[in-house]
């Protein structure tokens, strides 16, 4: 398996970089955001609650990205033309009982996947077009759980026929990996990468278990004990994300140590195309109501 060669040293300066992190207010996104900003990058965090007023170099855009109209607004507000790196970490884990957004979408699909599809459609053609000089092609990193051969349920992407928590969440996993592969073929002006961070102690499971419950605290304690911390992960990944020696081609997936992993064998070109078309139809159908 190919490895990424010569990542920038930790502590390397990112002064020339403009980075947008959609879901940058918490968890993995926040850790990446603070590390980029502490190295001098201009960072825009999109999320619901701003927690980084103490860190120079971070701007905030407030949005509820379970709404597709909000996703459109934010995509249009972001200065895509000047961005070097866009990172999508926004998301939740489906809850035991089906939750629906005011636009009629299953909430996990809306907040963890469909908003990214909407934003990429509006931003990708503009990405990096007005940068004065940059050695990097614009890069888009899409978080999820790629490489695990989760294909989703194409017959019921919005969980309208039946609802099961893992089925709903795996629809978002399949969707995000499909989005990487589809975007890599649609937008040659940027490079798209799928990111599988493995298990990391964050807030992602709070919607499933209930924030602050014993089950949530115990689970996160165990994950925190056995797996790398979010800051250790960020220290490995930020130098790779910004490295001018990143040779991987658009559409490549990476694991929790920044090593290339194969994409899911079931996500063929034909399947990806069907998945993305049905996702777009879903967004349009509910937005028109």
Which residues bind to ligand NAP, rule: CB under 6 A?
A: 23, 25-29, 47-49, 63-66, 89-92, 111-112, 143-145, 197, 199-200, 202-204
| Shortest distance (Å) from residue 206 CB to ligand NAP | 7
Q: How far is CA 98 from CA 106, 162, 248, in A?
A: 7, 9, 38
Taking the complex as a whole, the smallest distance from the CB of residue 262 to ligand NAP amounts, in Å, to 17
Residue closer to ligand NAP, measured from CB, 82 or 256: 256
Could you tell me which of 170, 31, 155, 129 has the C-alpha nearest to residue 89? 31
Which three-class secondary structure state does DSSP give residue 149? Answer: coil
Closest CA to 41 of 23, 18, 20: 18
Q: Which is nearer to ligand NAP, 112 or 263 (CB)?
A: 112
Report in angstroms how near the CB of residue 90 gets to ligand NAP at its nearest: 4
Nearest residue to ligand NAP, by Cβ distance, number only: 27
Q: Are 50 and 26 in contact (CB under 8 A)?
A: no
Least distance to ligand NAP, CB of residue 288, Å:
21
CB nearer to ligand NAP: give 44 or 92: 92
CA nearest to 140, candidates 174, 100, 180:
180
Closest CA to 250 of 260, 258, 239: 260
Residue position matching structure tokens 């971070």: 58
The rounded distance, in Å, linking the Cα atoms of 73 and 77 is 6
Contact 28, 4 (CB under 8 A): no
Residue closer to ligand NAP, measured from CB, 233 or 275: 233
CB of 16 to ligand NAP, least distance (A): 25
């Amino acid at each position: 398996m190919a490895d990424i060669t010569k990542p920038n040293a930790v502590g390397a300066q990112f002064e020339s970089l403009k980075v947008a992190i959609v879901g940058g207010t918490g968890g993995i996104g926040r850790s990446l955001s603070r590390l980029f900003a502490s190295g001098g990058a201009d960072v825009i965090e999109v999320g619901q609650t701003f927690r980084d007023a103490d860190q120079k170099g971070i701007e905030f855009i407030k949005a509820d990205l379970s709404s597709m109209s909000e996703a459109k607004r934010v995509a249009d507000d972001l200065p895509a033309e000047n961005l070097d790196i866009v990172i999508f970490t926004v998301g939740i884990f489906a809850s035991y009982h089906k939750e629906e957004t005011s636009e009629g979408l299953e909430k996990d699909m809306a907040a963890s996947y469909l908003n990214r599809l909407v934003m990429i459609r509006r931003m990708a053609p503009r990405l990096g077009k007005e940068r004065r000089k940059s050695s990097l092609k614009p890069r888009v990193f899409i978080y999820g759980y790629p490489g695990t051969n989760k294909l989703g349920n194409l017959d019921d992407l919005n969980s309208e026929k039946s609802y099961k928590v893992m089925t709903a969440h795996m629809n978002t996993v399949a969707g995000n990996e499909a989005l990487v592969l589809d975007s890599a073929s649609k937008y040659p002006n940027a490079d798209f990468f799928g990111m599988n961070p493995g298990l990391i102690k964050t807030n992602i499971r709070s919607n499933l278990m209930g924030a602050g419950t014993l089950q949530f605290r115990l689970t996160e304690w165990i994950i925190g004990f056995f797996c790398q911390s979010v800051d250790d992960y960020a220290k490995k990944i930020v130098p790779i994300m910004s490295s001018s020696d990143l040779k991987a081609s658009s559409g490549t997936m990476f694991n929790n140590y920044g090593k290339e992993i194969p994409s899911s064998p079931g996500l063929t070109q034909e399947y990806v195309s069907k998945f993305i078309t049905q996702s777009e139809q879903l967004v349009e159908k509910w937005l028109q109501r």
